[in-house]
Chains A and B, each alone.
Chain A
Amino acid sequence: MGSITLENVRKSFGSADIIQGASLEIEDGSFVVFVGPSGCGKTTLLRLIAGLEDVTSGQIRIDGADVTDVPPAKRGLSMVFQSYALYPHMSVRGNIAFGLKMAGMPKGEIDRKVEGAASILNLTPYLERKPRDLSGGQRQRVAIGRAIVREPKAFLFDEPLSNLDAALRVQMRQEVTRLQKQLATTAVYVTHDQVEAMTMADRIVVLNAGRIEQYGSPLELYEHPANLFVAGFIGSPKMNLIGREVAGQFGAATIGVRPEHITVARDGEGWEGTVGVAEHLGSDTFIYVDVPQVGTLTARTVGELGIRVGERVRLRPDQRRIHRFDTEGRALAA
């Protein structure tokens, strides 16, 4: 059990409104990811759910019960911090057991649970070590172990993988997802890495300057961004946004085309431009084309095309995949 509901939650620090009325319905057992640029309020929103900060106004419910004024210790959630926040003076066993001890669980049961969690996370050989004698990845696992052992209503993660190297990050990403599915416990996960967001989430919350821009599944966000911000934020390389007359021809203030939805050809139909930069990644090539009247457009082509810098090319957008936005930046119905 662990559904979380936010109702018009606001948070200000002094005169700065950091969260400006967030309403959200997180279903039991789902994996929800908060993404957004740095400073947009992801951590703050997570801490509000945790109870580590007071809401300025609004209501937070867990499983239907109002927990707005309930202290963090009593919300039945567990959190994995970016810094891991392991207790340095306790062994791995002590770290994982701490929450259970606080709950007054009998010793035998604590040991059984700790060892169970340790074996899931491959920590059994390290149970008696202090955190300082562990590698970054192992510390990460201890932090996760500490979170799962209490069988909380939901896990809260704040950029848990950002201190790991790239390879380990990919591996842990999969482990966390697998674990969450296996335990079927709700997870709220903060990251600014959109690859993490797209690969891990059941649903994504895109935050911008304290506002929820869109809430939906990764594919929805990709295919139907609700506004210009989401359109620009989700997807890599970024969606091409084109204004002025070109957009006018489509009956919109701005149109957007993803680089992967542009076909590059030497001749034929489409916008004509000069190749400025070509990035060869092996599997793909990103080419940046200066198109007069339109601007610089990015296109993604599969494999090697033999296109050189300075060459003139034609760019043809996939007509069915053109996103249209009004003057306020909101998406127009297709």
Chain B
Amino acid sequence: MARKVTGAKTAIWTAAAWLVGFIIFFPILWMMLTSFKTELDAFSTPPSFLFFHWTTENYATVQERSDYTLHAMNSIITAGGSTLIAMAIAIPAAWAMAFAPTKRTKDILLWMLSTKMMPAVGVLVPIYLIYRDFGLLDTRIGLIVVLCLGNLPIVIWMLFTYFKEIPKDILEAARMDGATITKELLFVLTPMALPGIASTLLLNVILAWNEAFWTLNLSTSAAAPLTTFIASYSSPEGLFWAKLSAASTLAIAPILILGWFSQKQLVRGLTFGAVK
């Protein structure tokens, strides 16, 4: 800000912004607080905000009961696995489109984008039947495949927008310096694109972790990731709010942290580079 702003005005704006931020964040905060309450405190009216009996027993219960670890592992494996495979397919493709473009490159990119816009419900039936017939229902492999393909267009796009910002000249200079294609990718492109590659990875993990259409429809127990697991708390007899909160906090904490790290790159990734 180049302009001078009076202290009083800044104070008012600051207060307003913090208030708005707090209200938006409140449901998460409330969930986290509830996770440290006893089930009784969690239901109490009037609600207790800070002065309740703090306990971590919910976390212990959630860990023991209900195979929480299994579902967490499922989330880690499906989100991580689908991301790594997507990156392995996407990095070469994005390199090709950014640095060896042909007349059709733009069309291919837009076509990839349009595959992302196909509503999942449109293909729910065939995917479900294929999965049923091939024994892929409720398997990690099955989830990895849908998550990977579902996010592939976004991954390619994000990498493409990052690669495109690397001046072609520099890669050509490496080529003039006698670098082979492999060395050019390894010693010049990758180090320069590292921030972009990292944030693409992060965003993709986040999207895969939170995906809740395919995971709900294609997994039930053995391969169920946290999205499906948490959904099982929706049945009326499962009204254990404190435990629900503890499980939820555990389920979103890692992603919240990753997300906060990647938020700067998020806009570009989610808008396919249309807003930077």
**Is B191 a contact of A102 with CB atoms below 8 Å?**
no
Whether B264 sits at the interface, judged by CB under 8 Å, is no
A83 CA / B188 CA spacing, docked (Å)? 16
- What are 14 contact pairs spanning A and B, CB under 8 A? A52-B175, A72-B172, A72-B176, A85-B167, A85-B172, A87-B173, A89-B192, A98-B174, A98-B187, A99-B178, A102-B178, A102-B179, A102-B183, A150-B178
CB distance from B182 to the nearest CB of A (A): 11
Most chain A CB inside 10 Å of its own CB: which residue of B175, B178, B191: B178
Q: B183: which A residues are within 8 A, CB to CB?
A: 102
**Is B178 a contact of A103 with CB atoms below 8 Å?**
yes
Other CB < 8 Å A-B pairs besides A52-B172, A82-B169, A87-B174, 5 of them?
A52-B176, A73-B175, A78-B176, A79-B173, A79-B176
The number of A-B residue pairs with CB atoms under 8 Å apart is 59
Q: A50: which B residues are within 8 A, CB to CB?
A: 176
Q: B192: which A residues are within 8 A, CB to CB?
A: 87-89
Question: Nearest A residue to B175 by beta-carbon distance?
Answer: A72
A95 CA / B60 CA spacing, docked (Å)? 55
Contact with B along A68-108 (1 / 0, CB 8 A): 00011110011101110111110000000011001100000
Contact with B along A97-135 (1 / 0, CB 8 A): 011001100000000000000000000000000000000
Binding site for B on A (CB under 8 A): 50, 52, 71-74, 77-79, 81-83, 85-89, 98-99, 102-103, 146, 150
Q: A98: which B residues are within 8 A, CB to CB?
A: 174, 177, 179, 187
Q: B115: which A residues are within 8 A, CB to CB?
A: none
Contact with A along B18-38 (1 / 0, CB 8 A): 000000000000000000000
Whether B93 sits at the interface, judged by CB under 8 Å, is no
**Is A87 a contact of B178 with CB atoms below 8 Å?**
no
Contact with A along B184-209 (1 / 0, CB 8 A): 00011001100000000000000000
List of 3 A-B pairs having minimum Cβ-Cβ separation, nearest first: A99-B177, A85-B169, A85-B173
Question: Nearest A residue to B171 by beta-carbon distance?
Answer: A85
Q: A72: which B residues are within 8 A, CB to CB?
A: 172, 175-176
Q: A77: which B residues are within 8 A, CB to CB?
A: 176
**Is A73 a contact of B170 with CB atoms below 8 Å?**
no
**Is B176 a contact of A73 with CB atoms below 8 Å?**
yes
A72 CA / B178 CA spacing, docked (Å)? 7
**Is A81 a contact of B173 with CB atoms below 8 Å?**
yes
Whether B263 sits at the interface, judged by CB under 8 Å, is no
